[in-house]
Chain A
Amino acid sequence: GAVVSQHPSWVICKSGTSVKIECRSLDFQATTMFWYRQFPKQSLMLMATSNEGSKATYEQGVEKDKFLINHASLTLSTLTVTSAHPEDSSFYICSASLGQGALGYGYTFGSGTRLTVV
């Protein structure tokens, strides 16, 4: 089945540094990937939609310059948290759309990245 690999699974960084999170579709091509943020006991919050070869579409309230998204190929999207601060600490999850068809708009999710900024 469709697999999305996300790395790293957890990362601790110092305040002010940047962190890159990778999301790869392993056995299918994902023209569209999504980046979510999840706080404890809360729902997934869509941050941005990443389209291969074009600029990402950010949700209202998400800082484009802080959360840099690059989708350079059909199998790789990256999220870079720039100048991270403790309030950026969260669980970040990527997903890829399985497109139209039998599964419609179901998604395959990565395993998530736990970011802790100290």
Chain B
Amino acid sequence: QKEVEQDPGPLSVPEGAIVSLNCTYSNSAFQYFMWYRQYSRKGPELLMYTYSSGNKEDGRFTAQVDKSSKYISLFIRDSQPSDSATYLCAMNTGGFKTIFGAGTRLFVKA
């Protein structure tokens, strides 16, 4: 079993839709949870960062962490074609080693 599971998609939605991206994990020691966006042939860029459980909102993006269920989510409101990318979840126990999910490919159709 992988430490972090993420559905690779692809996920295709119409412009303006609410997108829900999710990851599950098995290591209860994870404390730091991150979401990265990666455009094709580019390095990932940090979108959201959350420590422990709870919600965090930044513009159209909301990150949720449920440690009791070992489940994290990223919601994108009013999705735009420019949001089309691969979204990777990532987790860390507090050390330097971060575990990444496989990434979910998102396509937002105009």
Determine the distance from Cα of A32 to Cα of B102 in the docked complex, in whole angstroms.
24
Q: How far is the CB of B67 from chain A (nearest CB, A)?
A: 16
Stretch at the interface among A13-21, A43-51, A66-74, A76-84: A43-51
Q: How far is the CB of B35 from chain A (nearest CB, A)?
A: 10
Tier of interface size on chain B: 20 to 34
* Residue from B46, B88, B105 within 8 A of A44 (CB atoms): B88
Determine the distance from Cα of A36 to Cα of B80 in the docked complex, in whole angstroms.
29
Please tell me if the beta carbons of B102 and A111 are within 8 angstroms of each other in the complex. Answer: no
Interface residues in B65-110 by Cβ distance below 8 A to A read: 88, 92, 94, 96-98, 100-103, 105
* Residue from A43, A97, A110, A111 within 8 A of B88 (CB atoms): A43
Determine the distance from Cα of A100 to Cα of B102 in the docked complex, in whole angstroms.
25
Q: How far is the CB of A42 from chain B (nearest CB, A)?
A: 6
Q: How far is the CB of B65 from chain A (nearest CB, A)?
A: 13
Interface residues in A31-76 by Cβ distance below 8 A to B read: 32, 34, 41-44, 46, 49
B63 at the A interface (CB under 8 A): no
Please tell me if the beta carbons of A6 and B43 are within 8 angstroms of each other in the complex. Answer: yes
Chain A interface, DSSP helix/strand/loop, else mixed? strand
* Residues in chain B near residue A111, CB distance under 8 A: 42-43
The count of residues in chain A whose C-beta lies closer than 8 Å to any C-beta of chain B is: 25
Please tell me if the beta carbons of B102 and A41 are within 8 angstroms of each other in the complex. Answer: yes
* Residues in chain A near residue B34, CB distance under 8 A: 105-106
* Residue from A34, A104, A107 within 8 A of B51 (CB atoms): A104
Determine the distance from Cα of A106 to Cα of B96 in the docked complex, in whole angstroms.
10
For B105, the closest partner residue in chain A by CB is A41
Determine the distance from Cα of A105 to Cα of B105 in the docked complex, in whole angstroms.
24
Please tell me if the beta carbons of A105 and B88 are within 8 angstroms of each other in the complex. Answer: no
- B14-46 Cβ-contact flags toward A at 8 Å (1 or 0): 000000000000000000101010000111111
Known contacts A104-B51, A112-B42; can you find 6 more A-B pairs with CB under 8 A? A42-B102, A97-B96, A105-B96, A105-B98, A111-B43, A114-B41
